[in-house]
Structures are given as C-alpha cells and as structure tokens.
Structure 1
Amino acid sequence: MAPISDLSNHLANQFLIAMPGLADPNFEGTVIYLFEHTERGAMGLVVNRPTEVDLAMLFDKVEVEFKSKSETALLLNQAVYFGGPVQIERGFVLHESGSDTVYSSSLTVPEGLTMTTSKDVLEAVAAGTGPSKFLMTLGYAGWGAGQLEKEITLNDWINVPLSREQMANIIFDTPSAQRYERTMSHLGFDPSCLSGEAGHA
C-alpha cells in the first residue's frame, strides 16, 4: 500500500461503491461521492439512499419559507438523503459548481462538484435562485487517517473515477434505485459477479 502522503486527495471527486462483503448496514449497497481525501482522512456523501423526509419537511424544520412559484411541488417533494452516519442532524447540499453565487460555507472539489453546508443555499433554493440541480443529505460518511485505504485493501469498497458530467448525471438525473448499477456499469462488469472476499473479484 502506498504511503498515506502519496494518496492525499487521490480519491477526492470519485465514487466509492460498497462491495457485497460490506456488512455495515449504514453502507450496504451504497454509492458515495467523496468530496475530500487527505492524509487526515476522507469525507463523502451517500447519494443513493433517500429517506422519508422531503424538502417541505426540512424547510419547515429549519424555518425557511419557500417563495419560489416555479416547480414548487416538485421541489418540495424531493427526498432528503441519508448522507452518512456522522452528524446526522446536519445538512449537506451537493450541487454543481460554476455558479456565480457564493455561499457562506462551501467546498468546491477541483474538477468536481460543490458541497455546501450553510443555510443560505437553502434560502436561495426557496427563493428560486439556488442551484438548479442539487442533492440534500443529512449526515456524512467519514474515515480517519488511513482508514479508507485499509477498507479498500479489505475489498469493502471499489473506487470509480468518472468525469464531472458523468457523476452529475448519476447523482442528479438517475433514479436513486438505479445509481448503484449505473455507477458500476462504468467499470464494465456485473456487480453480482463480485466476491465478498478480500482480494477477489
């Protein structure tokens, strides 16, 4: 295994796919977008596990008034996703980069997407001036220094590097139930053929 320092940011802006042998119920069958990977650890958001909470319920809870008239029902019915088991009370908004709007607390992944945690992005969505495509999650997935690298060597995860356009299509335009298979299809093999044993596929 390469030294951690050599892997800094190596997997940021990639998908992680949970392998069949991963028994953790938090991550079984998940696709994760990694927005940070450094020698201190890694952070990402599960993008294929919608919850029973929708934006209407979330906006009501955080006291944001929905003012936009266009596509109101569609937006309010949009599911909030389980982003991971860490800080599940905190919201994370994954959206496309390139907007002229600057939010208070955002991380733009080079050549990738933007992750915003400040309330102003929700206020912008409510006003009809926010990102046109976004995914709202509660919580995130986190790994300590060297933890993700170890889990990959144990065959818990496989990483999938894609273009920003391909990732955005999977996250924002593909039904959640199809995101695992769609992501896996870019590797060119059937996930049902994978072994759950470390070192074998």
Structure 2
Amino acid sequence: MAADSAPMNLTHHFLIAMPGMEDKTFNRSVVYLCEHSERGALGLVINKPSDINLKVLFEKIELHLSRPELGDAPVFQGGPVQTERGFVLHEPVFTHAEKPEESVYASTMTIPGGLEMTTSKDVLEALATGAGPRKVLVSLGYSAWGEGQLESELAENSWLTVGADPAVIFDTPVEQRYDRALLLLGLEAWKLSPEAGHA
C-alpha cells in the first residue's frame, strides 16, 4: 500500500465468506462490520442462529418480553469472542431531536451508515416493556480481527466485501441472508469456486 493512500475502511460493510472457508464459525457466514480501522475490526455474524430464541434469553435474564413478535426470533452466534456477552444490533433510537447524535442507551456504538450496536442491558429492558428499537438482531459473542489481520484475510481471498444493506439483516429470512448478501454483488453461490478471488 502506498504511504499516501487512505487506509481501507469497511465499517458498515458485509464480509461474505468465500466457499473455501473451512473455519466452522465463519463457513458460509455473513459478518456485519460495526467498526474497522487500522487498529483492527469488530463485527457480528448475522446468519448463524444459536439454539435459543429471544423468549428463552429474556427468561434467563429475568425479563418478560412483552413484544410477542420478537419471541421466536433467534439469538445469533455473533462470533467466537466473549460468547457469554450480548450484543444488540439495531436501528438508531435517539434521546430527543435537540441531540440527534446521542443514543438512548448507556453503552452504544453509533455505526456510520445508520445502525447502532448496544451492549448495555437497558436496550433489552426497553424491548421487554414493549419499547426499544423496532428492528433488532441480538447476538452472543462477536467477531474481531487484530491490526492488519482482516486485510491479510482479504488478500488471501477469504472474504468478499460489499456495502451493507440493513434489509438483509432485519428483513431477510436467516437461511437466505448469505445468498442475498452475494446478490448485492450480483453473484450467486453456485458460481463461486472455493479458489476464486474477489468479485
């Protein structure tokens, strides 16, 4: 990379695992990147449901989920790091119009591109009361790459990248998310060779 070139920034992008990816955690995965800088990257796998749903999760943390439409939604395996910790990816929820950049919740990362990721329990408490963000994806664990690690994996053709579309995260059935993410690149899974490079 030339010294004067801007560093790659894939924040608010999808990483789409190439067919040759053998790591079970990431095989056929779509990762939404919440943060990417020269220090590394952080993201959530959006298409690997765990064996529990939100109703069960809320019972475990002793909250009553009063939004029945969310009860059957799966809790996702967001990645192999801190798998006991919850991460909630959601549409933005603001305190009031005077401070549009300020989130309602105690520990929220505002992601350039329009989404937020909250790690504090208050977002779950809001959902329990019937409030909170309308569109949510709850995961246990996250995916992380150290400095230069993701760039190295991209150079090895482990991932395809494309700008994220929230409709793939929130409005697409889980089993279709991999194919829908590929379609953002105009690709279909059967056309990809495990040895293929970037689109």
Mapped pair 1:151 → 2:153: yes
Give the structure 1 partner of residue 183 of structure 2: 185
Distance in 2 (CA, whole Å) between partners of 1:115 and 1:171 is: 13
Q: 2:143 aligns with which of 112, 127, 141?
A: 141
Distance in 2 (CA, whole Å) between partners of 1:123 and 1:93 is: 12
- Asked if structure 1 preserves the Cα contact closer than 8 Å seen for 2:45 and 2:79, the reply is yes
- Measured after TM superposition, the shift of residue 28 of structure 1 is 0.1
Q: Give the letter aligned to residue 86 of structure 2.
A: G
Distance in 1 (CA, whole Å) between partners of 2:173 and 2:20 is: 24
CA RMSD of aligned residues (A): 2.0
- Asked if structure 1 preserves the Cα contact closer than 8 Å seen for 2:93 and 2:104, the reply is no
Distance in 1 (CA, whole Å) between partners of 2:158 and 2:193 is: 11
Distance in 2 (CA, whole Å) between partners of 1:38 and 1:77 is: 35
The worse-fitting range, judged by mean Cα deviation, of 82-91 and 95-104 is 95-104
Give the structure 1 partner of residue 23 of structure 2: 24
Q: Deviations over 1:137-171 (max 9, x none)?
A: 00001000000000001010011114xxxx22111
- Measured after TM superposition, the shift of residue 110 of structure 1 is 1.3
Give the structure 2 partner of residue 169 of structure 1: 167
Give the structure 2 partner of residue 6 of structure 1: 6
Tell me the TM-score normalised to structure 1 length.
0.89
Distance in 1 (CA, whole Å) between partners of 2:158 and 2:114 is: 24
Q: Deviations over 1:74-105 (max 9, x none)?
A: 32221101100110000000001254361000
Distance in 2 (CA, whole Å) between partners of 1:154 and 1:44 is: 19
The worse-fitting range, judged by mean Cα deviation, of 130-139 and 189-198 is 189-198
Percent identity reads 53
TM alignment of 1:22-101, pairs within 5 A: 22-66=21-65, 68=66, 71-72=67-68, 74-100=69-95
Question: Which secondary structure state, in structure 2, belongs to the residue aligned with residue 6 of structure 1?
Answer: coil
Question: Which secondary structure state, in structure 2, belongs to the residue aligned with residue 33 of structure 1?
Answer: strand
Q: 2:114 aligns with which of 104, 112, 115?
A: 112
* Larger helix proportion of the pair: 1
Structure 1 alignment gaps of length 5 or more:
none
Distance in 2 (CA, whole Å) between partners of 1:47 and 1:173 is: 12
Question: Which secondary structure state, in structure 1, belongs to the residue aligned with residue 178 of structure 2?
Answer: helix
- Asked if structure 2 preserves the Cα contact closer than 8 Å seen for 1:99 and 1:131, the reply is no
Tell me the TM-score normalised to structure 2 length.
0.89
Distance in 2 (CA, whole Å) between partners of 1:111 and 1:76 is: 28
Q: Give the letter aligned to residue 78 of structure 1.
A: A
Distance in 2 (CA, whole Å) between partners of 1:182 and 1:82 is: 19
Distance in 1 (CA, whole Å) between partners of 2:104 and 2:114 is: 16
The worse-fitting range, judged by mean Cα deviation, of 114-123 and 181-190 is 181-190
Q: 1:194 aligns with which of 173, 176, 192?
A: 192
- Measured after TM superposition, the shift of residue 197 of structure 1 is 2.1
Question: Which secondary structure state, in structure 1, belongs to the residue aligned with residue 76 of structure 2?
Answer: strand
Distance in 1 (CA, whole Å) between partners of 2:116 and 2:162 is: 18
Q: How many residues are matched?
A: 192
